Amino acid sequence: GSYAAVDLGASSGRVMVGRVGPDRLELTEAHRFPNRPVRTPEGLRWDVLALYAGVLDGLRAAGPVDSV
């Protein structure tokens, strides 16, 4: 089967696709995007809307998968 995974880190995010078979495990990066902080009155915060957009772009790039 095919599976998509989302990895959000301090400086970037990515969507990976894993393909599993009887004798193999294959991982490929479908999409990588920056994680740039935004300044708010309370301090620096993750830009959740930009991360959401990056994840959606990555899932579209991943194509059909069996599970996320």
d(CA 34, CA 9): 9
- The answer to whether position 35 is within a domain reads yes
- The answer to whether position 51 is within a domain reads yes
pLDDT in tens, 25-61: 999 999 999 999 999 999 999 999 999 999 999 999 9
What is the predicted pLDDT for the residue at 68? 78
58 lies in which domain range?
A: 2-62
pTM greater than 0.85: yes
- CA angle centred on 40, ends 14 and 53, rounded to 5°: 30
- The answer to whether position 68 is within a domain reads no
How many domains is the chain partitioned into structurally? 1
- The answer to whether position 28 is within a domain reads yes
- The answer to whether position 15 is within a domain reads yes
- The answer to whether position 67 is within a domain reads no
Which pLDDT band, with edges at 50, 70 and 90, does 23 fall under?
Answer: very high
Query: Which one-letter DSSP state was computed for residue 52?
Result: H
